[in-house]
Amino acid sequence: MRRTLICTALIAVIFVGSGCAMFKLRKDYSKVQDVKTGENAIYTYFKDRLYDFIDWFPIFGLKGTIGEGLLFNVRVTKVAQVGAGAIDGEKFGFKGREVGYWHEWRGEVGVSLVYINTARKTPLIANEFLFDEYKRTRHKQKEDIDIYRNDDRHWADIGFTIHLGFVGLDWDILRLKEFFDFLVGIVCLDITKDDTKNRLRRKETEFIPVVGGVAPTPIP
């Protein structure tokens, strides 16, 4: 019991101490600027391990949808999946550390590897991690064979999506790649390149997209 309390307290301190960046939601991309943190290396290590844990833990894979459409998808990796339908609406919830509210148009149909998927997403209110993912993948938002679209759902994800009429639920029950990233992250390996050092390094040459008339400016 004592160990459980100590571990819980440690996680809480790291989470709160990080400024809860996961729950800092914004509407304006121009405010999402990454700078070198100057954090202590030990603190950064534990913060990154916490985010890696959040990326695969089932409760942080829940998303709700409000909008028009009919759609279902059941996936136990992309090798064993089936689905069909289309939706046009607003989605909200978690994709690991990515949190927010976004517009999504989605159409898909197929079985196993013979699967076509189109998903176009536009963040409305989101944290920096969701904005980052949108900037990185927005040029890929087009129809394609699903196995080539690991930015939308990774090939190793396990979960389901169902939307009936005006409401729906999308749940990534287990993201196997993120789970593996969490395990190897303990020894400072980062296969998904989402730890603090790699995120800042990747952003040195990126630009902020236009939103609400805000012109792109380099990230310092």
Question: Cα 26 to chain center, whole Å?
Answer: 16
User: Please, are residues 73 and 52 in contact by the beta-carbon 8 Å criterion?
Assistant: no
Dump pLDDT digits (tens) for 17-74. Answer: 445 566 666 665 545 444 455 678 899 999 999 999 999 999 999 999 999 999 999 9
pLDDT digits (tens, 9 = 90+) for 99-111: 999 999 999 999 9
pTM assigned to the model: 0.76
Quick: pLDDT tens for 131-150.
888 887 776 666 567 777 77
For residue 159, what pLDDT band results from cuts at 50, 70 and 90? Answer: very high
Quick one: pLDDT at residue 148?
Answer: 72
* H/E element, 4: helix 2-17
Output 29 or 201, whichever has higher pLDDT: 201
Is the torsion defined by CA of 59, 151, 84, 67 positive or negative? positive
| pLDDT tens profile 177-200 | 999 999 999 999 999 999 998 888
The DSSP line for 80-136 is: SEEEEEEEEEEEEEEETTEEEEEEEEEEEEEETTEEEEEEEEEEEEE-HHHHHHHHH
Measured CA to CA, the distance from residue 142 to residue 120 in angstroms comes to: 7
Task: Report pLDDT for 28.
Answer: 57
CA distance 181 to 176: 9
Between 60-64, 90-94, 204-208, the lowest mean confidence (pLDDT) is in 204-208
Closest CA to 203 of 46, 36, 48: 36
pLDDT at 6 over 90: no
Calpha distance 39→199 (Å, rounded): 14
**Whether pLDDT at 85 is above 70:** yes
